[in-house]
Structure 1
Amino acid sequence: MEETSQKAKSLNKWITVVSVAVPLVVVVLFAYKIPNAKPLSFLPPIYAGTNGLTAILLVMALVAIKKGKRRVHQRLINTCIVLSVLFLVMYVAYHMTSESTIYGGEGPMKYVYYFILLTHIVLSISVIPLVLITYSKAYLGDFVMHRLWAKFTFPIWLYVAITGVLVYIMISPYYPY
């Protein structure tokens, strides 16, 4: 029991560090432009696709666990985490080599776009600790707490994945290439 408590404390420290460091590093790297770099203009549809695939796999993971297929669930969630990390790397790489694209729509759709974008950004920051805490509960074998955390984490992570695709679809006509 003591060993599990120590592991939990250690994991909680790492979760805190990662949850603070990742958004800060993204902001710093987002603001930095690599001089004379060729724009990685092929990345937005790819990283939007990783968001779409993440959304599909999250739903599949939910179905798997509801059917009692714990190993399938675990593999799907692990894949979702890897896809989320890949998204982040591609997103930062794109923005380090390209200027940000401004949404060009008008009227009510402009407000819809910015609402989706703002909620996507805010929730994408909050989903980092949620995913890590939820994952750590399963890792430690505390499935009661894992399920409790998952009830909050799943819909937020799914929303972030889906809105990532929507943001791409809405802004794609305004990309300069």
Structure 2
Amino acid sequence: MAETVDETKYNKWIKILSVAIPLVVAALFGIKIPNVEPLSFLPPIYATINGITAVLLVLAVIAIKNGKRVLHERLMKACILLSISFLVMYVAYHMTSDSTSYGGEGVMRYLYFFILISHILLSIVIIPLVLITYVRALSKRFDKHRKIAKITFPIWLYVAVTGVVVYLMISPYYVH
């Protein structure tokens, strides 16, 4: 693991990023790049990235429970990079393509919107949680890292899994 870091110097950045990322994503959602071919190939890619993230999160927990700290660290860094990649592709897709409306009816429609809304809200909540959890590991405050990781893990896993579920539910309605 890297040198011990001073956690307090990262707190300002955690707060800034926790607010800025959702605001920038929301702002970019309203921007459409004119005369650009829609990036319609991206949704299955970023859904796959969500699925891989979910698997790696589970493997990371198994690794740390088995005392494999270096493997755990590498898997968690991969999860962070995958989540950043997802976000970039997600924004790029929505800047070049119109949003797809869910076409299901009845109970499935309510279920879809419940999953979608909880996914979106928790994807905002997970930003500071991941950053705080990561910084606590960097600062070698493993007692505090473990405590917040027990909150971060299930939420991040839910966001990753529901990202795949949302894609699977809406994919029949994509216009190609």
For this structure pair, what is the TM-score category when the shorter chain's length is used for normalisation? over 0.9
The C-alpha deviation readout for 1:115-161, integer Å capped at 9, x for no partner, is 00000000000000000000000000000000000000000000000
**Structure 2 counterpart of 1:122, one-letter code:** L
Specify the SS of the correspondent of 1:74: helix
Structure 1 residue runs of 5 or longer lacking an equivalent are none
Match of 2:50 in 1: 51
Match of 1:36 in 2: 35
Match of 1:161 in 2: 160
- Mean CA deviation greater in 8-17 or 60-69: 8-17
User: Partners in 1 of 2:125 and 2:170 — Cα distance?
Assistant: 23
User: Partners in 2 of 1:105 and 1:36 — Cα distance?
Assistant: 31
User: Partners in 1 of 2:69 and 2:7 — Cα distance?
Assistant: 22
Structure 2 residue runs of 5 or longer lacking an equivalent are none
Percent of aligned pairs with the same amino acid: 65
The C-alpha deviation readout for 1:38-67, integer Å capped at 9, x for no partner, is 000000000000000000000000000000
Question: What is the TM-score with the length of structure 2 in the denominator?
Answer: 0.97
User: Partners in 1 of 2:10 and 2:141 — Cα distance?
Assistant: 13
Between 1 and 2, higher relative CO (CA 8 Å, sep ≥ 6) is seen in 2
Count the aligned residue pairs.
173
Question: What is the TM-score with the length of structure 1 in the denominator?
Answer: 0.96
Alignment of structure 1 residues 89-104 onto 2, 5 Å: 89-104=88-103
User: Partners in 2 of 1:122 and 1:138 — Cα distance?
Assistant: 25
RMSD: 0.9
